[in-house]
Structure 1
């Protein structure tokens, strides 16, 4: 029997876990797994706001994490996929043939919608740029300047609070179209607002941003919010690679998958994490590490079962929590229902800090441990709410 060639595109949280877990699950089979990523450094996306605030994180190297797993690492960028010939082309012209492809290219912040955002705003897409932002931030802080954080989602909240705590001399303004933390329950959101008040964060709520300027953010009202630095955390974009390859995608470019996370147009391709349009009984999953890691673990297990000729059960997932750091000394955790709506319980203060730290630091150890044993990748399957009844 010929060797089954498996290519994993993307070495973020989902791609790394899928590759390592699949290698362990197929160690007795004739399988060769290749993991492709532009950088040899593993990016901890959950902690990018810490880098932006000037903190140093551990330098995790992908080859070191993979060591002993049997997975081959190829540093490169996928530039094209031929799903009929089953070939991935990399920058420089190299080609990788595959029998099974795991598409884990993830997502980034979209700066293309608002004029000036691409030219004058910073993002948390790349750790190198986050480091440069931190260097510039230190200069602005020394001058007692202004920073605008655009977007009131969890990323924007974590970035604003981290920056305000690390540089108390700054004026930090959080600009949001909706209420920051709107996905949380009333009590958790009240705690969040109290924390932002304590840190002196100015909130501009219900605002539509029309333009980003070199020294300000312009709103639809005509108001200009002063900004020596602008951090953009709102809007999501995915790689156009799948759409360009003729793989069926939705309006946002996510690969449309069946209940086992296979592409509906090309079943030899599986999409995981932010790259996949995954529907559950309660609705469509939105891209987070919390949902991405389970798609990776499931796909590794499902593909291993398929290669052994065994039946594969549909993917099931339900959300469990919304963990939000509020600087290094505070946090709030909203526990949720399966569909990510707020539940009754929440956690704050030191206990929440410890909880959030455990969540943020768990992926890399989990990947390393997955080389030796099966590690659970999710806290909850969501119970009955995740089961398709129709």
Structure 2
């Protein structure tokens, strides 16, 4: 093992250690936001605005991060993103503005800034360390394990203790975890070999040409379009169910707290996300990329399970349905990671990751905004209809990937 390889492996372990604190902070922030919204009986559309606020900076920040990366370097951009976000959290806490629901949504906005800066470079680094194929599957499962520990620490602690401790404890604890994650991530970027040849994404003006080229390469096209298609289905339901649970199951679990319903939905979502990535074998991930229409099966399953979660009378049943739904959706999300790491040459991985992130975030913003408007005028179950429309559009998008017919026949080998 070369010296550079040892540095890369050490940096990877430290990066995931940083993601433990990052995911713990995210879990705490999510619990605090959902719990506060439910306790204060805020309007349903504020649950939807939480989705919009985290995604808007990711949509705009990907393009801005590219320009800043070229001018100042990846280290400076990621460090600046963490600094701005942590400073924002501290200002909200010290001024007491975090008690105002709309100001609390700024947390989601600040998290989106950091995501947009760090993900493309991290994607390329993972490719350098693990390679493609089975290496990408190993990286996916290792990342899920590290995420699991952080999410259990954040969401698990929050589910039990929010109603007893409130925002006054959660906010500084989450801010401290986030600042520690930033220090770890920025320090590892100085390890030899971590940022080798990270040019960032292609110039945004050329992305239209890139998409036209990908349209002729079916597996690359699907690697880019699976997540945007999935978001058309899952985002409306993820927006509507916490608000519906807050209305339908309020006070259902007094042992945990009167605000338990939306937090239980959040816990089911997080655990299902992690289980889906851990349990999906490589042949299933490959199937999602290689076969046209294969990804529609878990999307339909997600739609049915979430629709049932709106009407079941028991909160534990809601948790079980949400868990199973996100287990299915994250098989598709894992296939997106697998496809980007496997279908694109090493020199194009960061650009492909950035482009896929921009596409999926753009769809996320549009659909979440539509769901927000819908919740202003209609009750939360109306988002089921929006998700049904998204499922139809997703089927049309995935049908346009270069193979004729919607079928589940024998998969072709993935063409390079």
TM-score (norm 2): 0.27
Structure with greater helix percent: 2
Instruction: Select the structure with the greater relative contact order (CA < 8 A; seq sep ≥ 6).
Output: 2
- Could you say which structure has the higher strand fraction? 1
TM-score, length basis structure 1: 0.28
